[in-house]
Amino acid sequence: MVAAVLLCLTAFAQQKKELEERRKRLMQEIELTSSLLNETTRNRAATYDLYVTLQNQIVKRKQLVLTLRKEIQYTAENIERTQEVIAALESDTEQLKEEYAEMARRAYRFKLSNNHLFFLFSADDFNDAFQRWRYLKQYDEYRKKQAHLIMETQKTLEQKIENLELRKAEKETLLSSEVQQHRLLNKELEDKNKILQALRSDEKRLKKDLATQEKDRRRLDDSIKDIIRSEVAVKKKKEPITVEIINSESGKDATRLFQSQRGKLPWPVSKGVITRRFGKQAHPTLKKIEISNNGIDIRTDRMAEVRAVFEGKVVGLTFVPGYNNMLIIQHGDYYSVYSNLDEVFVDKGDKVDAKQALGKLSVNSKSNVSELHFEVWREKTRLNPADWVRR
């Protein structure tokens, strides 16, 4: 029984470790979002940015509360299982002690404990003496084994009792943390509703801003398409056969290497939170209005450094209204796109390494925050960047 319960506890330990890691990651993201909320300018023009950031914070906070609840549940189950182990170990210890006491009583009856020689020499013949010698040897080994088992079981029992007290204290800490996170969540939900009311009263300006953003988005999309189309055309131009083979193989290698990093690429900034995801989605505040995003938007520290997610060649660098400087890096058939840069550290034609600094982000004059617009393409097909970077 003890072995089965211990196996169960091992599984709980693994689940507990995964939950702890998830809790730590969420806490880090919440801490970052909180700092971004503090940096966001509190004015009428920045209300929408404030709302989007707060909405992201609420999502993370809800995930954290759920994670804490699961941790509390697993800790409670761990406590229950540990109590079962303790009960089983106590039972085993008592049984071992009884067996050892019975063995001692039998030894006393046969006068084995103090006079082994007398026991041997009182044998009827040599064979009887040999059998008695073997019995004494087995008896000594068994007695030592029983004593060792009692000590080890007692030690395990003491360790489990100590762990039980730690788990109980941990459960209390988790319960307290859940209560605190719930309180913060309720406060954020209240703030969100207030901001939402303010935004609804400013719907006309929001729609105007949205129209401008959509116009800028189309310009960015056209610029990206033009650069990629030009690069694809260059790759398909007929060249001397030897050069063509070399270039073709090199391009295939780069494509395969980039493809192998799906879900493993480093973030294009050292830290940040995704405020707008890829694809079509409902507008956060305007009813019955759908917005489209060709990449993801990552809010991060003001003027944060932007870095390449993979080695490649800079094939595009241009200014796009609403997105400031935009640059494109080629990775075989794949392209990574970085927009909203204020400073740029590289030039078109440069070869860059993974995590190499490309430039610094601009600061939004309305909200006082920095946000990277990041895209991934495979030739003329847009891909979801969230599927490519590490989570």
Span 189-200, pLDDT tens digits = 898 888 888 887
67 or 325, higher pLDDT? 325
Give the separation between CA 298 and CA 310, rounded to whole angstroms: 18
Task: Report the alpha-carbon distance of residue 74 to residue 62 in Å, rounded.
Answer: 18
Neighbouring C-beta atoms of residue 186, cutoff 10 Å: 11
32-41, 177-186, 271-280, 313-322: which has the highest mean pLDDT? 313-322
More confident residue, 284 or 341: 341
Return residue ranges of the chain for CATH 1.10.287: 2-200
Q: In this model, does residue 288 exceed pLDDT 90?
A: no
**In the numeric block, which tokens belong to residue 334?**
């794949």
Residue 249 banded pLDDT, cuts 50, 70, 90: very low
Q: Coil, helix or strand for 257?
A: helix
Exposure class string for 90-118: b at 16+ Cβ within 10 A, else e: eebbeebeeebeeeeeeeeeeebeeeeee
Q: How far apart (Å, rounded) are the C-alpha atoms in residues 33 and 275?
A: 10
Of the two residues 72 and 105, the one the predictor is more confident about is 72
Q: Would you state the structure tokens that stand for residue 113, as one six-digit string?
A: 């404990």
Tell which phi-psi region holds residue 332, choosing left (phi > 0), alpha (psi between -120 and 50) or beta.
left
| pLDDT band at 265; cut points 50, 70, 90 | very high
Is-contact 306 372, C-beta < 8 A?
yes
pLDDT higher than threshold 80 for residue 120? no
The pLDDT confidence band at residue 23, using thresholds 50, 70 and 90, is confident
Nearest CA among 157, 184, 188, 391 for reference residue 296: 391
Output the pLDDT for position 130.
Answer: 62
Q: What is the pLDDT of residue 117?
A: 52
pLDDT over 70 (residue 36): yes
pLDDT at 245: 42
As a CATH number, domain 2-200 is: 1.10.287
Which string of DSSP letters, residue by residue, matches 140-200?
HHHHHHHHHHHHHHHHHHHHHHHHHHHHHHHHHHHHHHHHHHHHHHHHHHHHHHHHHHHHH
Q: Transcribe 59-76 into DSSP letters.
A: HHHHHHHHHHHHHHHHHH
Task: Give the pLDDT confidence score for residue 85 in this predicted structure.
Answer: 76
Distance CA 275, CA 1 (A): 51
Instruction: Cite the residue boundaries of each domain of the chain with CATH code 2.70.70.10.
Output: 219-387
Does pLDDT of 132 surpass 70? no
pLDDT-derived band at 340 (thresholds 50, 70, 90) equals: very high
Based on DSSP, count helices (H) and strands (E) in the chain, helices before strands: 6, 12
Is the pLDDT confidence value at 237 over 60? yes
Q: Which residues of 235-251 are buried (b: 16+ CB within 10 A; e: fewer)?
A: beeeeeeeeeeeeeeee
- Which tokens go with 317? 């660098």
Torsion (CA) 2, 8, 9, 15 in degrees, nearest 10 = 180
Which CATH entry fits the domain spanning 219-387: 2.160.10.10, 2.70.70.10, 3.20.20.70, 3.40.720.10? 2.70.70.10
Burial of 155 by CB count in 10 Å (0-12 exposed, 13-18 middle, 19+ buried)? exposed
Q: CA-CA distance, 19 to 77, in Å (whole number)?
A: 14
Q: Band of the pLDDT at 350, cuts 50, 70, 90?
A: very high
- pLDDT at position 105 is 66
Note whether 67 and 22 are within 8 A (CB): yes
Share of the chain above pLDDT 70, in %: 78
Question: Does residue 144 carry a pLDDT above 70?
Answer: no
Residue 164 neighbours by CB under 8 Å, 6+ apart: 79, 82, 83, 86
Which 8-state DSSP code applies to residue 266? P
What confidence score (pLDDT) does residue 199 get?
80
Model pLDDT, residue 378: 95
Helices 203-236 and 126-200, packing angle to 10 deg: 120
Mean per-residue pLDDT of the chain: 82
- Structure tokens, 288: 């019955």
Q: What sign results for the dihedral spanned by CA atoms 217, 223, 225, 228?
A: negative
**What is the mean predicted confidence (pLDDT) over 325-342?**
96
Residue 243 has pLDDT above 50, yes or no: no
Query: Cα(376)–Cα(239) distance, rounded to whole angstroms?
Result: 28
Residue 246, pLDDT score: 41
* pLDDT > 80? residue 226: yes
- Cα–Cα nearest to 272, from 385, 388, 370, 377: 370
Q: pLDDT band for position 35 (50/70/90)?
A: confident
